[in-house]
Structure 1
Amino acid sequence: MPAKDFYHDIFVQSLIKEGWTITDDPLTLSYGNRDMYVDLGAERTVIAAERDKEKIAVEIKSFIGASPVRDLEIAVGQYSIYQSVLSEIESNRILYLAVPLRVYESILSERFGQLILTNLNIKVIVFDHKNERIVKWIQ
């Protein structure tokens, strides 16, 4: 199992504050004879005509490497693999990439970052690691 991301625990608290229940830490995905580990699985009850559960999987990335482009390449690679597997084994679970606010305000808000997020249809959760809160959900 891979090591937890630098902001893992902070993001977990941010998600809990928003009313989510952490169901898997990590969320294990198995396909064929391969296992993968998404950082989190979470759900919350949605109030509608009928009660249902919203389920998400979250890959947390800190972008603390020497190159933000390389960090994005790694994040996008993991996201793509997990999305492919989830679409086959648990299509009702929505995958998100969680990033600190400073990452969103830098590389992901730049023209380059927007191109990648849009063309690859990457869903993002932006969190404020200093105040342990979620700032933005990007569909």
Structure 2
Amino acid sequence: MPQYDILHDTVKQALIKDGWAITHDPFTITFGLRQAFVDLGAEKMIAAEKEGQTIAVEVKSFVGVSAMTDLERAVGQYAIYKSWLARIDPERILYLAIDSEIFENLFQDISGQVLLEDYEIKIIVVDKEHEEILQWIS
């Protein structure tokens, strides 16, 4: 089993507050001979539809020695998970969950914005003190 990120419980509580039901903790992806663990799987029932929306959420706190190394690792994981999910669970949308400070420091700059655009990374920005979702970026 994977080790949880220090922001894991904060993101989980923020999703619950936002009306999501946590369905997997962690969400396991098996593809070919490989297995990966996305931090959370969640579902939200939509009143106008019979079936709910499903998401997978990879949580990253970027607390390593190098923000660049953490960024490389996060983008790489996101790319792998997105590729595999597209083939085995195409309705499930993958998000990268980060706190607001990381979003401002890494993804508001042009160097981070091009990664969001080029790799089509979807972001959940979380207020870690209040355990609330501040922004969904698609």
Q: Please indicate, yes or no, whether the TM-score normalized by the shorter chain is above 0.5.
A: yes
Question: Pairwise mapping of residues 52-131 of structure 1 onto structure 2 (< 5 A)?
Answer: 52-131=51-130
Output the TM-score relative to the length of structure 2.
0.98
Q: Deviating runs (4+, > 3 A) in structure 1? A: none
Letter paired with 1:94: I
Partners of 1:66 and 1:107 in 2: CA distance:
15
Question: Pairwise mapping of residues 2-81 of structure 1 onto structure 2 (< 5 A)?
Answer: 2-48=2-48, 50-81=49-80
Output the TM-score relative to the length of structure 1.
0.97
Partners of 1:62 and 1:11 in 2: CA distance:
10
* Cα drift, residue 34 of structure 1: 1.3
* Cα drift, residue 108 of structure 1: 0.8
* Cα drift, residue 51 of structure 1: 2.0
Letter paired with 2:122: K
Partners of 1:17 and 1:58 in 2: CA distance:
15
* Cα drift, residue 65 of structure 1: 1.1
Partners of 1:83 and 1:21 in 2: CA distance:
21
Partners of 2:108 and 2:46 in 1: CA distance:
30
SS state at 2:107 partner = coil
Percentage of matched positions with identical amino acids: 49
Partners of 1:58 and 1:123 in 2: CA distance:
10
Higher mean C-alpha deviation, range 91-100 or range 66-75:
66-75
Provide structure 1 residue ranges, at least 5 long, that are not aligned to the other structure. none
Question: Superposition RMSD on alpha carbons, in Å?
Answer: 0.7
* Cα drift, residue 46 of structure 1: 0.7
Partners of 2:47 and 2:77 in 1: CA distance:
32
Letter paired with 2:76: G
Provide structure 2 residue ranges, at least 5 long, that are not aligned to the other structure. none
Partners of 1:82 and 1:51 in 2: CA distance:
27
